[in-house]
Chain A
Amino acid sequence: MKLEYLVAIVVILFAAQFFYGVAAHPDSEFGGADGAAEDVITEINPDYEPWFAGIGFEPPGGETESLLFALQAAFGAIVIGYTIGYYKGKGDSN
């Protein structure tokens, strides 16, 4: 069980750095780092315009976007859980 304890400590430390971040940046909404990078680009080259708008589907808002991200995570989690359960069941029956 030792590794589980270590991982639990990492999770607690992660939560701690988040709360520290909230305290250190009270006005931040914790937007994406890619948005922050976009600001850097605008600073370096104020005239730069993205030359391609994209051909994919663009979620109309935050709600749909979070739905699609949640689906992505759920799909992955099902596969991981199924396979580990499958291996475990096979191991137990041997």
Chain B
Amino acid sequence: MHVFEGFLPSPWWQLWFVFSIPVILYGMYKLNKLVSERREVVPLLAVAGAFIFVLSSLKLPSVTGSSSHPTGTGMAAILFGPAITAVLGVIVLLYQALFLAHGGITTLGANTASMAIIGPLVAYLFYRAAAKSGMNFYLNVFLATAIADWVTYVVTSAQLALAFPSAEGGILGSFTAFATVFATTQVPLAIMEGALTALIMKYVVQIKSDVLVDLDVLTTSAVTKLKEAME
């Protein structure tokens, strides 16, 4: 559920482009480097991108009486970092804006900032910090992706609040109004996305753990421990 086409007035839509474009360019540079230096990670990159495709097409009903969709960006962020995830996210956002009238071209900068940049960045930072503190891998993946999903919609609420401050409550007042819609609807979805991502990551550990070590997602000793637990 992204900001609709034409629904961000000037100067907000331009500002979010200014925010997003440098990150996307940096992400393309990183992606290029990764693909040319480490051919063996390409299949996993395809999985991470495809995961965003699948999850962002599933409009799930929430207890609030509205539907919304998960983002799927947390997994890519944990595996490849936020910059590369931003590029994968933009591809999905472009597809939805051009073929589904979902999101929009003028709001692409803002939607990129929330779903493809800030959400994944939070997932990445959370995962790295929690991994250092020794948190269980699957719990870490679950929390990092669920939080990233949820933060995406908090950012969307903030973007709309900045552009549409309410007459009485100001920016904070409208933030509460938008967050009531987006952030509450998103809670069950975020939990679902976290659980699903943790499960997929378990299979990646099972069948292709060397790439995880290669990408610096897990240490060799952590992989050994996870594999022992599977038997």
Contact = CB atoms under 8 A, between A and B. Distances in A.
Interface of A: 3-4, 6-7, 10-11, 13-14, 17-18, 20-22, 24-25, 28, 30-38, 40-41, 43-45, 48, 50-59, 65, 68-70, 72-73, 75-80, 83-84, 86-88, 91
B28 interface: no
A37 to B, nearest CB: 5
B62 A36 contact: no
Nearest to A14: B192
Contacts, number: 186
B63 A51 contact: no
Given A32-B59, A40-B174, A68 B100 contact: yes
A80 B66 CA distance: 29
A94 B95 CA distance: 39
A79 B47 contact: yes
A13 B165 CA distance: 36
Contact of B43 (A48, A68, A70, A83): A83
Contacts of B207: 84, 87-88, 91
A54 B46 contact: no
Secondary structure at chain B's binding surface: helix, strand, loop or mixed? Answer: helix
A68 to B, nearest CB: 5
A58 to B, nearest CB: 4
B94 to A, nearest CB: 9
B50 A44 contact: no
A13 B190 CA distance: 13
> Which of the four size classes fits the interface of chain B?
35 or more
Given A18-B63, A44-B174, A72 B57 contact: yes
A40 B181 contact: yes
A84 B181 CA distance: 37
B104 to A, nearest CB: 6
Given A37-B182, A50-B5, A59-B100, A83 B195 contact: no
Nearest to B184: A33
Interface stretch (B77-85, B198-206, B216-224): B198-206
